[in-house]
Each structure stands twice: as C-alpha cells, then as structure tokens.
Structure 1
C-alpha cells in the first residue's frame, strides 16, 4: 500500500528523514489528497521506479509548517503546494529551486499555461520558481430561486456596483442578504483593478499603494454594503457561511470557479439546480485563488519531484482529473478544448459553466506578487478594513495608518 504519511489535522515531525531513490513526498492541503488518490496509481503504473507518498495538513497549518521548514532548511517534502496568497512571499524568501535553471528548463512550458498564473510563479529576478497547478477564475455564484423571487436579471445586477447594491436592497425586503461578508467586495476590488505596472500593494519601487483611489473605492463600496445592512456579517469557512448557502439566506458569493466543487460535494449538495454562475460585477475580470507546485531547495529527490510536477501540471489527464473530481480549474490552456467543457453541469441547472470559467481565465491581467504582499494583506484586509466596517473608522484615516504600519513592518 502507498505510504500516506499524514492526512488531516495531525502534525508529525519528519525532520531528518531521508528519502530513498525514487521516493517523492508531496506536501499539501485538502482536497489534494482526493486528487492524488486518483492520480498516484496511474503515475506509478508508468513509473515503476518511483513511489509517491503525501502529507496533508489543513490549509493554514500547511502554510505555517512550510514557513518553518523553509526558514530552518529542513522538514519540507520534495513537492509542495503553495496557495497564491503566499506564493510571492515564499518565492522571494529564496527557499525554492530555480525552475528556469537548465536542469529543469521550466521556461519552455510557459506558453502552455494561462499567462497571469504563470507570471505569479516568477521571482523578482524573472526566473520561474513555481508552476500553477490550478487557478481560480473569478465569478459570481448566485441563487436562481432568490433572483426569481424579486424578478432580477443577473445581467442587470452585475452591470455595476450600484446595480449590485440595488439588488441587495430588494433582497433585504425579503429577509435575504446580498452577500455573506462585505469585506469580500473590498478584497475583490483591490485584487482585480490593479493598474498596469503596479502590484497588489506596492509599486515597482516597493512603495505602498494603499492610500490610492483603488483602495479608497474598495473600502467605500464595502462600507456602503455594510452600512445598509446588506451583508450577513458572516466570515467564510464558518458553519454560518455554509448554512447561508444551504437555506438560501445569502443570495450571491464572489469566488473562484473552484467553489462549485465545494458547493456540490459537501457544502450544500441538496441545493442542486438552485444555483447559477455569472461574471463578476462592474465588468471585472479577476482571479480568486489558485495553487502552485514548487520544489524546496532542501528536497531530497528533485529529479523525480520535477517529473511529477510536470505530470500534474502539464498533462491533460491530470488537469482534467482535478476539474472533474475536485472542481479545481485547469491552468493548462490545452484542456479548454476538451469535450468535457461542453457538458451541462447539473448542480448549476444545466449551465455550461466551464466555458465561462475558461473565458475569464484568459482575460485576467497579469499582476506580479511582491515580497511584502502577505504583510500588507494582513494589515489592510485583516485590520484596517475591519476597523472601517465594524468600528466606523474614517476610510482615508484607516488607509493612512495602514500605510505607516506597512512601511515600518516591511522595512
């Protein structure tokens, strides 16, 4: 039987373990275990000299553990998964293999992938350090039954933020919330309306951008939704969040395409046929989530690790398996012509939604992550925004304070 080193929440110290030739350990977070359970037997059947094992921890635990592994130079697997929100910081800390080096030649694969996701795996030196394994084309999921109850057209609802908020006012009369958390609207605007040449939080010279019009606008829209009582004030990944999807008290959710897999598999399976999906409001094309595969410098079996990464990211078999089994959307553009993209999705009332996901994926502008993004994200979205939404702090004052704190912590 395959060696499953750890699955779930438990944490086992593997520091100092030594891999035998042909052994590859994959470190990640659920639902990658479900994905690997299908793919590993196929891979090992054609690579009899290679044995793949995996170690799974919950999303936050995995990234905390990996932070420690990279800092201490030991304990990481041969292949590691990194969420897009961490990728810039991890890459620029210098703990991953340079995949542009001749022994990997990752740059030859560039044209096979969605452009913006490929660029997110680059370092500030222009080299490739991580390969996108799945992406999150930004979309809006909505309850069809709720929209029908107020005679709303989604085309009209998403035409602007004003029309989106007006939809929320109609829903309020029905005791239905527009969205679970207004903070997600601010996050979306911040991440998807970046000007060319800018980063999410910093300009090319490393100066913070958080007092710019983009951030003021993001905070203003979110505050209006909160002040008018249009959001449920429920955070993502809580039981209250799941309940809103199950009972129809939350009408829309801004997310990545990947949310479909969660909704239909475990969050709200009994609501099949009640959902639809459309573009994001205000004509935005953006990314919401995504994952990358990298090889830590401390990895013990880099050659086989790289071969396995190429299988997972650069073969239609593996990429389409992720789409069909766990709802992860392919980063490999060659898959977008697959007949499975024409399949109606029963959970979405027969909508051929994969065509929408592919269209969005190819229109998302590229934004390079920068070293201080994780710090700035924490200060802006976990602190300043909550002060505005929950405590009524003035928007411009909150952003000025955030800028000062970012400068101090990044320096």
Structure 2
C-alpha cells in the first residue's frame, strides 16, 4: 500500500473511531459475478493480512442475476454490498441515477487516477453531471478472429479480410465458394462493430451528450446496409452468439470469422472450441476500425455504510490498481487489464498458443490505446434491443432501412424524454 493510501485510510478510520464508532468494521461485503468473483477471492488473503480483524465476504451470482440483485439493492437501499462489480452496460444504466457514490469525493478523490487507465474507460465511468461512479478493471478491445486454414483454402490472406469492409465481404464470397464455410455467424455482428466505429468523441452509441437520439445517422445506415448485404449474399450462418449452433459452427469449421472482444480467445480455448487450437488467428478490425466490446468496473453504493467506505475504497484500489493481481487475472482468465501500468509487461510479448503462437496481445494493446471514448447512457440496453429488432425486420422481412431507423429513432426519442 502506498503512503497516500495508508494516510488516507488511517485518517478516515481515526475520525470514525473518534466519533464513537468501531475503529475497524468486522466484515466487508463484495458482490461480483464470474470470473471477477475468482479475482476478488484471489485478492482477499493479501488484503486481509494488511487489515487484521476484517473479513471479506464475496457474494457471487451469475451475470444476469447479479445485476438484477444490484438494481434491486440500489433502488431500495437494502441488502447493499460495500463494493460491487458492474459490467459496462450496467454502468451506463446506473450512472445517471443517484445510486452510485461519486468517487471524486472523499475518501476516494479518484480523479487523480485518470491517467493510469485506458482513456476511453474514464468516459464510460462518468455521467453527464461529471461524477465518476466506477473504476475499470478489465476491457474488451475489439478484434477480428479468423480461421487461418479456411483462408488458406480460399487463397486469401488476413489483409483481404481487414483492408476494408468491402474487401471483407468480397473475401466472404470466396470463402463460401471455396470452402462452404460462412463468413460470420450472424449479420448482426457486422452491425455491432460498425455502430461502434466513427463515434464522435464524448458521444454514446445511441445517444448524444444532450440526450439526442443518434440511430438515424450515416453510422447506423452503413451498418444496416452491410448487414443486409451479408444476409442477401448468404454469407452469414444465421446463428446468434452463445447459441449451441454458434458453438458447433466454430467446432466444425463452418464459421470463418468472428468480430468480438479479445476475451473470446480465452473462451474458445477453454470450452467453446478447444480442438480448433492453432487454427485461429487475430487481426485488427476492417478499415482501421477500433471498437470496445465489453468490460468490467467496480463501484461503491451511495447509500452504503459510511463506516466501511474507506475500507471498501481501499479494497477497490487493490482490484483495479494492483499490477500483479491484474496480470495474474490476465494470464489465468484472459481478462485484459484496463490499467496501462500493465501494458509493458513481458506477458504481452508471449505467443498465444490457441492462435498458433501469434503475439496477438500486441494487436489488442494497440486497439485499447486507440479506441475512442464512448459515453454510456441509462437507456443503452433498451436501445440495443430496439436496434436489433429493427435490423431483424430488415433482414427477415425486407423492411426498408430508412423506415427501420426512423421507427427506432421515434421510439427512443420517447424513451429518452422520460
């Protein structure tokens, strides 16, 4: 623990003790989800050794159950943990309310930590009031994963895939013709990446800083057009991410590429398609695009017990600033750290066995540094559902793109006004 943290924690606990409160709380509660729960538990022994008499209880739930429980706890002010993990999409939902503690305030004063994290994550953790409501722990740099063996059979190279979006689609035609494999799992994947590119600094995916709806714009029009082209040419397998057909597509070599966060490589190697080890490679996204895909944060509830806030903040700093802990999580769980202090570690130079020995972490590190900050909004999850529904109408019913985006815009304008 650095001198500043020791002094701040000691002062805070001393003041509370002087006010007649217990000098050291006996239990600190942390709510998390897999795989963050494992990282929290790994951090506990060293942290509690520095805080004798304090026990850390880790409450672990599956991703959706965890966030449902946090929504309920924040809205009712009951059963609040001292510290909670949040997926980036939920940070946006919670940030605009008053449920999360502003980390710029004492005892945290976290604004001083800005330069230690990947720049775009700071915007994700801040709201329109300028409050900082969370600290990032891990990120998901977008990447293009592709089957090297299928490209070779089609007479193609990686440059044919990621030079441009037009080139990516053209390569898909050749892959389909020569190998029978689909270019990608679902045309929606095209949309998911394209709407994340070209976002203006400080704006969100779906809403501007002044709450304007951004879906009826050239960014979304191009995403819908390319997704429709992929579907019309029979280049997508029409299977959704995380479905059994998606998994089988990877295992049987029926899906040639996947655009998603770099974290998928760990899942592929451990349980999605471990027998395809060595067949995959990674590249940057087409046309010089850099996009974020997922990430995790830690936050303090605003109505949490003030007598434990300094301890919770101290533990949060371990989870987000402890270079050794974060690198261990990267090596063990393939969780890419948000802390830039880790970026020069030799682990980034090591070959990735699942990717045929490629030093892919160099690509992901570059992507992380070049991703544009994208503001989060409390209605992002709802907007994502609306856009996916309208895209499905375009792909399966032939709905006109202008009408689809216009309908989405009107619905989101109504929701944003609430």
Post-superposition Cα deviations, 1:124-161, rounded to whole Å, max 9, x if no partner, equal 11121100010111111111111111121111211111
Query: Which of the residues 340, 347, 362 maps onto 1:333?
Result: 340
Structure 1 window deviating more from structure 2 (211-220 vs 199-208): it is 199-208
Tell me if 1:182 matches 2:159.
no
**1:397 paired residue number:** 403
Are 1:26 and 1:77, in contact at CA under 8 Å, matched by a contact in 2?
yes
Deviation track 1:359-409 (CA, whole Å, cap 9, x = no partner) reads: 11000111221233233222112x211211222211110111111111122
Out of 317, 321, 331, the position equivalent to 1:324 is: 331
Which residue of the partner structure matches residue 255 of structure 1? 260
Q: Match of 2:4?
A: none
Q: Separation in 1 of the partners of 2:80 and 2:45?
A: 23
Question: Following the alignment from structure 1 to structure 2, what is the Cα–Cα distance between the partners of residues 64 and 393?
Answer: 34
**Residue number in structure 2 paired with 1:8:** none
Residue 240 of structure 1: how far off its partner (Å): 1.5
Q: Indicate whether 1:266 and 2:271 are aligned.
A: yes
TM-score of the pair, normalised by structure 2? 0.90
Instruction: Check 1:64–1:147 CA distance in 2 against 1; reply closer, same or farther (3 A cut).
Output: same
- 1:74-153 alignment, distance < 5 Å: 74-153=78-157
- Pair member with larger Rg: 2
How many corresponding residue pairs?
391
Which residue pairs with 2:412 in the alignment? Answer: 406
Tell whether the 8 Å contact from 2:43 to 2:318 is kept in structure 1 after alignment.
no
- Provide the C-alpha distance between the structure 1 equivalents of 2:202 and 2:99, rounded to a whole number of angstroms: 26
1:296 aligns with 2:301: yes
Please point out which of 218, 234, 239 is paired with 2:239.
234
User: Structure 2: any 5+ residue segments left out of the alignment?
Assistant: 1-23
Q: CA deviation at 1:75?
A: 2.1
Equivalent residue of 1:306, what SS? helix
Distance in 2 between residues matched to 1:345 and 1:83, nearest whole Å: 26
Distance 2:149 2:49 in 1: 47
8 Å CA contact 1:141–1:254 kept in 2: the answer is yes
Match of 1:380 among 369, 382, 387: 387
Where 1:291 maps in the other structure, the secondary structure is: strand
Instruction: Give the TM-score taking structure 1 as reference length.
Output: 0.91
Whole-Å separation in 2 of the counterparts to 1:391 and 1:50: 59
- Aligned partners of 1:306, 1:406: CA distance in 2, in Å? 36
> 1:35 Cα deviation (Å)?
2.6
**After superposition, what is the alpha-carbon deviation per residue over 1:63-107, rounded to whole angstroms, capped at 9, x for unaligned?**
222222211112232211111122112111111011000211111
Residue number in structure 2 paired with 1:362:
369
C-alpha contact (below 8 Å) 1:137/1:357 kept by paired residues: yes
Distance apart, 1:23 and its partner CA: 1.8
Distance 2:38 2:378 in 1: 32
Residue 224 (str. 1) matches residue 224 (str. 2): no
Q: CA deviation at 1:32?
A: 1.8
Deviations 1:300-357 (A, max 9, x none): 3322211111001111011101111111101000101111111111111111111111
Contact 2:160 2:171 in 1 (8 A): no
Work out the CA distance in 2 between the residues paired with 1:22 and 1:307: 15
Determine the C-alpha separation between the residues in 2 that align with 1:78 and 1:171.
52
In the alignment, the residues of structure 1 paired with residue 153 and residue 56 of structure 2 have an alpha-carbon distance, to the nearest angstrom, of 51
- Residue 307 of structure 1 is matched in structure 2 by 314
SS state of the match for residue 352, structure 1?
coil
The question of whether the paired residues in 2 share the 8 Å contact of 1:34 and 1:326 is answered with: no
Displacement after TM superposition at 1:299 (Å): 2.6
1:202-243: CA deviation from partner (whole Å, max 9, x where unpaired): 223211111111111111111111111111111111121111
Distance 1:182 1:41 in 2: 46
Deviation (angstroms), 1:197: 4.7
